[in-house]
Structure 1
Amino acid sequence: MKFVFDLDGTICFKGQPLSKGITNALEACIENGHEIIFASARPIRDLLPVLPETMRKFPMVGGNGAFVAQNGETVEVTAFTGEIVEAIQNIMLAFQLPYLVDGDWDYAYTGSEAHPIHQNLDPLKLAKNVSLHELKDIVKIVLFPGEQHKEILAELQQLPISLYEHSAENIVDMSPNGIDKWNGLMKLGVAEGGFIAFGNDANDASMFVKAKESICVGEHKVRELASLQVPSDEVAVIDMLNTLNEKYK
């Protein structure tokens, strides 16, 4: 069986690397013949540092589906069209919004250094923080709307893009139209009903509805689409993972 894992808030917490307990549970799955896939909102660049070195060549979906990687190589990147980038930039300019914009590797960041996103941004210093106009292909955009959240969201919802709200962090996360985690998983050859998904947020919905079993970690509304739910607690996640590991071996 294929096991697909979101990272932040699902199997890694507070931006820290996978714990020994989680790592051991994943290794037990591998020993039972299961395949491990990671599917995160993070671009591949920022996904790698939280994983043990032994798992950095596993199949991965990054940027909510915009990046697909196998065997340590990024095999596909889906970028916004120039027209959509211009429309989003006009909104950014009109509202004077801080942002994190990811290219295929480098990025442009103008947000606060105190924001949790900055703390998780390129910790291995693998890329460069460049000006926005230096990014050739724009793959993922995060905006920090502040108190203008509703007005900005209303503008963005008029565009043909994949859009996710993360109210706890007060950010809006955007990917190219039609791009989501399930889209990325299909590019890795994952079949509907042929995998188990662990996640904790709205961007996990697309894979929850296609999974054989889906496990929501915590109390997010996306639990309504999940077949199982566990508290946002590492021990609970490990217990569930061990149970499913044995059930499907």
Structure 2
Amino acid sequence: MKPQMIFFDIDGTLLDHNKQLPSSAKQAIQVLKENGHEVAIATGRPPYLFRELREELEIDSFVSFNGQYVVLRGEVIYKNPLGRKSLHALTKFANQYNHPLVYMGPETMKANTAYHPHIEECITTLGVEHPNHDPYYFIDRDIYQTLLFCTNEHEAAYGEKFGDLNFIRWHQFSMDVLPFGGSKAQGIARFIEKLGYVKEQVYAFGDNLNDIEMLQFVGNSVAMGNAPDLVKKAAKYVTKDVDDNGLVHGLELVGLLK
């Protein structure tokens, strides 16, 4: 097989439900690289929240912040920060409803409140502690993604108010906030442009709502068995649950592993 480009989401795809990397998945990544394929990560996480995983897998190409910060073989090739006027307006609007925000920059992230239980519950699912408090962190600094903490009943109000932003729910208490049109698919497009691949040579594995555009964009898409039905419908293939060697089964399903 000619070299292909393969993107893996992290949570629920590379990492199992206990946030562990299965040994079978690690071995599969190694085999893919040995066979000459280009392997990359596509995640909503910022780079500093999956540094150890990149080092363990020896991967230096990634789409982070859901497509807003793209690195190819250690070199930044694309940046798409949130508009500063939009961030000011979002902060003002969210404060009216006491909905906290976490601003995610290239080096770290800060919360605009000292503590909030919704932040605590959501952030701990990523294996990190409640971010430090700095309500002015977004001022005069590039912010590539913001986490907005609110429940479903308030979601529509934000979508109606901010037509220049994308809101993607990833937890019952939280949404990712991205520039309008921002997605993992846009980040992957930068790889294709840079390396000269065609979509038919590109594979993507994912399991959550922020993976839908990516799965629809690439030529070969695989939804994990633990994905919601909406995500499965967006994919060309559906593999087993991540805890049931879903990643390896998916690679075998599309013919990348035998």
Q: TM-score, normalised by structure 1?
A: 0.85
Aligned residue among 206, 209, 216 for 2:216: 209
Shift of 1:70: 2.4
User: What residue is the counterpart of 1:143 in the other structure?
Assistant: 148
Q: 1:246 to 1:192 in 2, by over 3 A?
A: closer
Match of 2:165 among 156, 161, 164: 161
Q: Are the structure 2 counterparts of residues 56 and 219 from structure 1 closer, same or farther at C-alpha, using a change threshold of 3 Å?
A: closer
Alignment check: 8 A CA contact 2:41 2:62 kept = yes
* Aligned residue number for residue 224 of structure 1: 233
SS for the counterpart of 1:4 is strand
Change in CA separation of 1:243 and 1:201 when aligned onto 2, cut-off 3 Å: same
C-alpha displacement of 1:34: 1.2
Deviation readout 1:135-157 (Å, 9 max, x if unpaired): 322211111214xx322432234
Any idea what the Cα deviations from partners look like across 1:155-202, whole Å, max 9, x if unmatched? 234311122112x44311111122111111122235433301101112
Structure 2 partner of 1:72: 74
Q: Give the SS at the match of 2:92.
A: helix
Residue identity opposite 2:238 in structure 1: Q
Distance 1:39 1:205 in 2: 12
Q: Which residue of structure 1 aligns with residue 98 of structure 2?
A: 96
Offset of residue 132 of structure 1: 2.8
- Read off the aligned partner of 1:155 and give its amino acid letter: Y
2:8–2:40: 8 Å Cα contact kept in structure 1?
A: yes
Q: Contact 1:145–1:170 (CA<8 Å) still a contact in 2?
A: yes
Contact 1:56 1:72 in 2 (8 A): no
Q: Secondary structure at the match of 1:21?
A: helix
The offset of 1:131, in angstroms, is 0.6
Q: Using the alignment, how far apart are the partners of 2:15 and 2:21 within structure 1?
A: 5
**Separation of aligned partners in 1, 2:133 and 2:68:** 20
Alignment length (residue pairs): 240
1:196 maps to 203
How far is the alpha carbon of 1:50 from its aligned partner? Answer: 3.0
| 2:173 counterpart of 1:170 | yes
User: Shift in Å at residue 219 of structure 1?
Assistant: 3.8
- Sort the Cα spacing of 1:193 and 1:223 in 2 relative to 1 into closer, same or farther, 3 A: same
In structure 1, what residue type is equivalent to 2:231? Answer: V
Q: Which amino acid aligns with 2:137?
A: E
Structure 1 spans left out of the alignment, 5+ residues: none
Aligned residue number for residue 239 of structure 1:
249
Identity percentage of aligned residues: 20
